Amino acid sequence: MAQSADDPFNGFRLEALGGYDSSRAGSTTDDDGNPNNDQSIDGVVYGAQAGYDVNTGNGVVFGVETELTTSTADAEFEDGDFENIGLGDVSSGRDIYLGARVGATVGERTLAYVKGGYTNARYNLNSTFDGEDFRSSIDTDGYRVGAGLEHAFGENAYAKLEYRYSNYSDAEIDFEDESRPDEDLGEIDLDRHQVLAGVGWRF
């Protein structure tokens, strides 16, 4: 069933996302003594999200959402300085998010919301052994919080702008060779900042 124009923030939705992504060493690993070492990797994040919202009719909206994204952020050497975020020579991989949001309508067509939930991000290790690529990745677990604005166009289409912060505190190395067991890295401290735009359709 199509969404009612008088009830724009209700029901199932699908959307495409894209924007800015930055992962950096957290406060416990940041190199504060070297101002030239920003210890961050930056790139473009893109992916898709699915969600379901309930408009209570009194200006409050509750929702759940799940998301799959990836990023072009990659550790590099700049002027002899390695952008070490605490995980070694890595590039950003897929990121899985599962969470909830709550919002308040601003006028009839705009929603201001906050969100939070669980995120599992993968960082691919860039390494070689005997001239061959050595494939492994670091899986990290953490939490995400964020806030955004969403605006409805017509009966079904919408667009949004969102900022979110993620912190990862647990990690393990996953090896491509299935005969080699995963290796627990214990506690880590990794921050992630993202600014994304999204366009979607409600059903």
Segments making up each domain of the chain, as ranges: 11-31+39-202
Which of 10-19, 34-43, 185-194 has the least mean pLDDT?
Answer: 34-43
pLDDT band at 7 (very low <50, low <70, confident <90, very high): confident
HSE-CB of 29 using CA atoms within 13 angstroms: 19
Q: Contact at 8 Å (CB) between 127 and 137? A: no
pTM summary value: 0.85
**Predicted local confidence at residue 120, as pLDDT:** 97
Pick left, alpha or beta for residue 107 (phi over 0 → left; psi -120 to 50 → alpha; otherwise beta). Answer: left
Go through the chain and tell me how many residues it has: 203
Task: Judge whether residue 40 has pLDDT over 70.
Answer: yes
6 pLDDT tier (thresholds 50, 70, 90): low
pLDDT band at 2 (very low <50, low <70, confident <90, very high): very low
Name the band, by pLDDT with cuts 50, 70 and 90, for residue 116.
very high
- Does residue 77 register a pLDDT over 60? yes
Residue 127 has pLDDT above 60, yes or no: yes
Amino acid at 97: Y
Q: Answer yes or no: are the C-beta atoms of 1 and 190 closer than 8 Å.
A: no
- For residue 152, give every residue at least 6 positions away whose Cβ sits within 8 Å of its Cβ, in sequence order, or none: 8, 9, 109, 110, 111, 158
The partner residues of 141 in beta bridges, in order of sequence, read 120, 170
Distance CA 192, CA 184 (A): 21
The CATH architecture of the domain made up of 11-31+39-202 is Beta Barrel (2.40)
- Exposed (0-12), middle (13-18) or buried (19+): which is 154, by Cβ within 10 Å? exposed
The encoded tokens of residue 57 equal 């009719």
Query: CB count, 10 Å around CB of 79?
Result: 5
The CA distance from 168 to 66, in Å, is 18
- Beta-carbon contacts of 144 under 8 Å, excluding residues fewer than 6 positions away, are 97, 99, 115, 116, 117, 118, 119, 164, 165, 166
Query: Which amino acid is located at 107 in the chain?
Result: G
